[in-house]
Homo-oligomer: A and B are copies of this chain.
Amino acid sequence: MTTDAAFAELTTRLQRVHALGTVAELLGWDEQVNLPPGGAEQRGAQQAALAEAMQAAASDRRTGELLAGLEANAEALTADQRVVVAHGRKDYDRATKLPVEFVREKAAQGSRGYHAWVRAKAADDFAGYAPVLEKNLELAKREAGYLGWGGREYDYMLDKHDPGLTAAAVERLFDALKRDLVPLVREITGSPTAARARAAAAKLRGFPVEGQRVFLREVTERLGFDYARGRIDVSLHPFCSGTGSDVRMTTRFNADEPLDSLFSSIHETGHGLYEQGLPAAQLGTALGLHAGMAVHESQSRLWENQVARSRGFWRGFEPRFRALFPAQTAGLTGEELSLAVNAVQPTLIRVDADEVTYNLHILLRFELEKKLFAGELAVGDLPAAWRAASRDMVGLEPATDREGVLQDVHWSDGAFGYFPSYCLGNMLAAQLWYRARALRPGLEEEFARGDFSWLLGWLRAEVHAQGRRCDALELARRVTGEELSPRALVRYLRERYGAAEGA
């Protein structure tokens, strides 16, 4: 068998497993968007059967033989082929090195953990949730051990979501960010501009859902989302799923929060544009997969924040916004609208946070996760540690655990190491933004004309088309010519929210 034939067969097999994964994702989408309330149990059985089929396909011995053969002939492979083989190996090991009983235990715990979290949050009962966290931590460490990451368990968790990332690298970045961001937040939120922005935002009330729907459809289409290869529906929590030519976003509507629905849709559009931009023919191999959650978040944040909160964007869309909502916008000046989309207000809850203070929530979670994995913090001490860190970083102390350590779903099913992606995505987004503006100084003028094609084309070529060829750090280096750092993010936040603007 030639190397090329073996590579072709491997590709087919990886794509088949990936296709099953996209089916599971579609079932998840359907569960949030369509599933009749009584169908949950049946859906669980479908997902379980599918998971078993995926596991069987992913651990097929023939895939292991092909990988071993290709690895033994690595010198005969192209650089792209090596990328596919390396990631194929990673997935194959994950599918074959975890004992069956462990996989079963973890799956059962994942479902138990979620329900325990829902209960604990409703009852503000951390003590009832602590055993779940203990168990999830133990399972995470065991999983790392099975896969050869013993002693570097938190690195393993980070690498799972962002291939190539280490706790040491994140720590360096976050420490630098924290130094600048904490005082900057105090400065911004205390400014008269921030007070005026909050007052302006409070005036946005009573926007009919039908108009919101029309506006966000027009906006997301203009940004470049291809509705021939995707759709947007309504769900309780917005998300984006699917890939390639079937990308499904969701949003939610609230007449008194028109910007919430709009910006969360633009956020999902950023994710969607990335998935629509992955190389179609390579879908399901590393050449057609996103580069990790940090890069994914950089795309959603870039479109949501740098683009859609810009003056240029609103210069372009303001007339249409006013035309759709004449009564609602009658008492709002152009400056107030501009301020409203950039209102900053520290909050206890991460998912409600603005783009400035959001990062503080992540720094907090990273510090606690790191200590949990290092054994420097006991699960039982988490609530107190959370309160202290929240006071220290966000400047607010939660009165209940529900607004503190119990607020996020992630840990309930063992998704440790995921939070940093959000903040790293913000850093990368800002860094990409300045690079784009350097290459194309008139970018905001184009936005004002409703033209986002240059930016999308550039991201398509520099980020989307790359697939998983390089990790977030390497991508930053290649595309922006600089190491990933918090400098661009701090500069951006200072420029947009600092004393220099609109004060």
A19 — nearest CB in chain B belongs to which residue? B49
One digit per residue, 1 when the CB lies within 8 angstroms of any chain B CB and 0 when it does not, for chain A 51-68 equals: 011101100000000000
Q: Which has the most chain B C-beta neighbours within 10 Å: A19, A35, A50, A244?
A: A19
A50→B19 CA distance, assembly (Å): 8
Chain A contacts with B in 8-50, Cβ cutoff 8 A? 15-17, 19-20, 22-23, 26-27, 30, 34-39, 41-43, 45-46, 48-50
In the complex, are the beta carbons of A244 and B53 less than 8 A apart? Answer: no
In the complex, are the beta carbons of A36 and B227 less than 8 A apart? Answer: yes
A20→B15 CA distance, assembly (Å): 19
In the complex, are the beta carbons of A53 and B42 less than 8 A apart? Answer: no
* A71 at the B interface (CB under 8 A): no
A109→B246 CA distance, assembly (Å): 26
* A231 at the B interface (CB under 8 A): yes
* A166 at the B interface (CB under 8 A): no
In the complex, are the beta carbons of A16 and B228 less than 8 A apart? Answer: no
Known contacts A15-B45, A245-B41, A245-B42; is-contact A230 B53 (Cβ 8 Å): no
* A90 at the B interface (CB under 8 A): no
* A397 at the B interface (CB under 8 A): no
- A411 to B: closest C-beta gap in Å: 29
**Chain B residue contacts of A19, Cβ below 8 A:** 45-46, 48-50
A17→B56 CA distance, assembly (Å): 14
A245 — nearest CB in chain B belongs to which residue? B38
* A205 at the B interface (CB under 8 A): no
- A448 to B: closest C-beta gap in Å: 30
Known contacts A27-B23, A39-B229, A228-B37; is-contact A49 B16 (Cβ 8 Å): yes
**Chain B residue contacts of A227, Cβ below 8 A:** 36
A26→B283 CA distance, assembly (Å): 22
